[in-house]
A and B are shown apart, each in its own frame.
Chain A
Amino acid sequence: MKPRAKHKATPKRTAARVKRRVRPAVKRPVARHVEDAIDALMTASARALGLTIAPLWHKSVRFNLQLVLHHAARVEAFSLHDDAEPAPVFHA
């Protein structure tokens, strides 16, 4: 338990600070080989699952697949023992 850090920010001051420092949303370039791999995964998965991806949806599905794989990578990097039990239905 740590003592709460004191800060002197007021909403107005913080808002002003935030305004000065805004960085626009930058779409980070995805390496070509990663894009190719995601496209290959999409094509193979869609075929295996019996899903159709219309050309118009392709970009959006790929964006969402990249996003979910980004989150999955963070979980994958978390170290767990072999005896870790899943909690498919959680009882608090």
Chain B
Amino acid sequence: MWDGAADIASAVAAGRATALSIAEAAILRIREHDPLLNSFTAVTEQRALARAQAIDDARAAGRPLGPLAGVPFAVKNLFDVEGLPTLAGSKINRDLPPAARDAALIERLESAGAVLVGALNMGEYAYDFTGENVHDGAVHNPHDIERMSGGSSSGSGAAVAGGLVPLALGSDTNGSIRVPSSLCGIFGLKPTYGRLSRARSFPFVASLDHLGPFARNTRDLALAYDAMQGGDADDPACAGRDAEPVLPLLERGAEGLRVAVAGGYFKCRSAEPLAAVDRVAAALHANRDVDIPYADTARSAAFIVTASEGASLHLDRLRTRANDFDPAVRDRLIAGAMLPASLVVKAQKFRRRYRNAVLKLFEDVDAILAPATPCTAPLIGQETFVFGGNEIPVRANLGLYTQPISFIGLPVVAVPVPLEPLPIGVQIIAAPWREDVALRLACALEQKGVVAAKRPAL
């Protein structure tokens, strides 16, 4: 089924379909196609059917339905799901007791009528860009199952791109929403740092962690985003801003918005990202380049803050259960633990300086375009790829365009450019709290047919 969230909610509200039939169909699709994709780690069938029946009962009783009535969705398995241990892609967390309460964003989506159908595969402890996981197996890209989905929200990308669910949630510390969106050819929103509550999700790097939605069109992305906005005292980093709905603004078009292309560090020297950015820039009449200053240092600073905070989080597990980690993750975390604190503090000081410099750019532009990934989906197990004439490691470099942006918490919509044979994403980067600008531009591009989530031949 390729129907979007808005279509499903509209059909349920109008009585053209029942929420129960939608949930049953989603579960059937997961059973049928997920053995190929490996995107789910748990299917919450009984819960989903009960929830769907409750929505149908509410409609029958004449009670109002939410804007996501009957929409199936799934979440990266670092979100707490009541009754399940929160795996965060690990073996170690399987020993945790089942979560006592759902993550805040699950509660908000379900309050809007959505129906949780399961938890999704991911890179261990979110320290991953590939979608490979030694405990649960690699997630396969729906456009070519020999290829990576991207990570660490690998299951979220594949489940949405493969048509198993119209909506999924993931997390993005250094690019983990934008990288799988790019490689799987779907839309992803990484909101401003502090916009959406992270309460009751398993952390990775507290000062960089964001949560956000994946969808196959901008309308669905906006619907989900609007349903999840609002402050939350349970997340100390949540800014507590009132909801600023974007759905009413979505179709205002690109007119009047000043769009530039990121130059310098972001001027990609590989064919596919270059072609994708050019297509998007041409459609938005973005005929100016803007240099994001110190982007290479920003990436390095993000790298060391991640290594250090991640190591700090897992230090005790590294002491007591080192053999139970994915070796690739363990060895990076151990290295991070050894990083002198003085260097991490310097990175945090640089972060403020960099933020101030980048914010100045938004005095002259409303949005900046940049590649989302330096390549289309590599083969599963592939260790290097060609970039700018050099062969470089996949694992460390899939996020080289995303890290300098999330480092200062800017909102980004990753839009899919349907190149052949594989799609690739472009980042639409906006000023803090201006998700509306990025989503408006994404919607305008979608209406022009420049970006689209292409249906894979599963």
Let me know if B391 and A23 touch, CB within 8 A. yes
B331-365 residues with Cβ-Cβ distance < 8 A to A are 331-332, 334-340, 343, 345-353, 355, 364-365
Let me know if B274 and A64 touch, CB within 8 A. no
Q: What residues of chain A lie closer than 8 Å to B46, measured between beta carbons?
A: none
Q: B349 — nearest CB in chain A belongs to which residue?
A: A84
A15-46 residues with Cβ-Cβ distance < 8 A to B are 15, 18-19, 21-25, 41-42, 45-46
**Cα(A89)–Cα(B237), bound, Å:** 7
Choose from B307, B355, B390 the contact partner of A87 (Cβ within 8 Å).
B355
A3 near B: Cβ within 8 Å? Answer: yes
Q: How distant is B379 from chain A, measured CB to nearest CB, in Å?
A: 16
Q: Which residues of A contact B (CB under 8 A)?
A: 1-5, 9-12, 14-15, 18-19, 21-25, 41-42, 45-46, 49-54, 57, 60-61, 63-65, 67-72, 74-76, 78, 80, 84-92
**Cα(A9)–Cα(B269), bound, Å:** 10
A1-B290 CB under 8 A given contacts A18-B386, A57-B330, A75-B297: yes
**Cα(A5)–Cα(B386), bound, Å:** 23
A22-B389 CB under 8 A given contacts A14-B271, A45-B337, A91-B194: yes
B94-102, B111-119, B298-306, B447-455 - the one binding chain A: B298-306
Q: How distant is A89 from chain B, measured CB to nearest CB, in Å?
A: 6
**Cα(A85)–Cα(B350), bound, Å:** 8
Q: How distant is B325 from chain A, measured CB to nearest CB, in Å?
A: 10
**Given A4-B281, A18-B389, A64-B331, 18 further pairs, Cβ under 8 A:** A3-B289, A4-B263, A4-B288, A18-B269, A18-B386, A22-B391, A25-B393, A49-B337, A50-B319, A51-B319, A64-B336, A67-B396, A68-B303, A75-B297, A78-B294, A87-B348, A91-B193, A92-B408
B92 near A: Cβ within 8 Å? Answer: no
A4-B289 CB under 8 A given contacts A22-B386, A87-B352, A89-B207: yes
Let me know if A71 and B304 touch, CB within 8 A. yes
In the complex, per-residue mask of B210-245: 1 if CB is within 8 Å of any chain A CB, else 0 = 000000000000000000000000001101000000
Shortest Cβ-Cβ A-B pairs, 7 listed? A92-B432, A64-B335, A86-B348, A71-B300, A21-B389, A45-B338, A14-B271
Let me know if A65 and B281 touch, CB within 8 A. no
A85-B300 CB under 8 A given contacts A9-B271, A65-B335: no
Let me know if A15 and B337 touch, CB within 8 A. no
Q: What residues of chain B lie closer than 8 Å to A65, measured between beta carbons?
A: 335, 338
B283 near A: Cβ within 8 Å? Answer: no
Q: What residues of chain A lie closer than 8 Å to B334, measured between beta carbons?
A: 46, 51, 53, 57, 61, 64
A75-B391 CB under 8 A given contacts A4-B281, A14-B271: no
Q: What residues of chain A lie closer than 8 Å to B338, measured between beta carbons?
A: 41-42, 45-46, 49, 65
Q: What residues of chain A lie closer than 8 Å to B382, measured between beta carbons?
A: none
**Cα(A14)–Cα(B389), bound, Å:** 10
Choose from B303, B352, B433 the contact partner of A71 (Cβ within 8 Å).
B303
B93 near A: Cβ within 8 Å? Answer: no
In the complex, per-residue mask of B191-221: 1 if CB is within 8 Å of any chain A CB, else 0 = 0111000000000001100000000000000
Q: What residues of chain A lie closer than 8 Å to B322, measured between beta carbons?
A: 51-52, 54
Let me know if A75 and B288 touch, CB within 8 A. no
Let me know if B348 and A11 touch, CB within 8 A. no
Q: What would 16 A/B residue contacts be, using CB atoms closer than 8 Å?
A: A1-B290, A1-B364, A4-B263, A22-B389, A23-B390, A51-B322, A60-B331, A72-B339, A76-B346, A80-B349, A86-B351, A87-B348, A87-B355, A90-B193, A91-B193, A92-B410
Let me know if A51 and B335 touch, CB within 8 A. no
**Cα(A69)–Cα(B318), bound, Å:** 20
Q: How distant is B412 from chain A, measured CB to nearest CB, in Å?
A: 12
Q: How distant is A42 from chain B, measured CB to nearest CB, in Å?
A: 6
**Cα(A22)–Cα(B316), bound, Å:** 43
Q: B407 — nearest CB in chain A belongs to which residue?
A: A90
**Cα(A42)–Cα(B331), bound, Å:** 12
Q: What residues of chain B lie closer than 8 Å to A90, measured between beta carbons?
A: 193-194, 207, 351, 355, 408-409
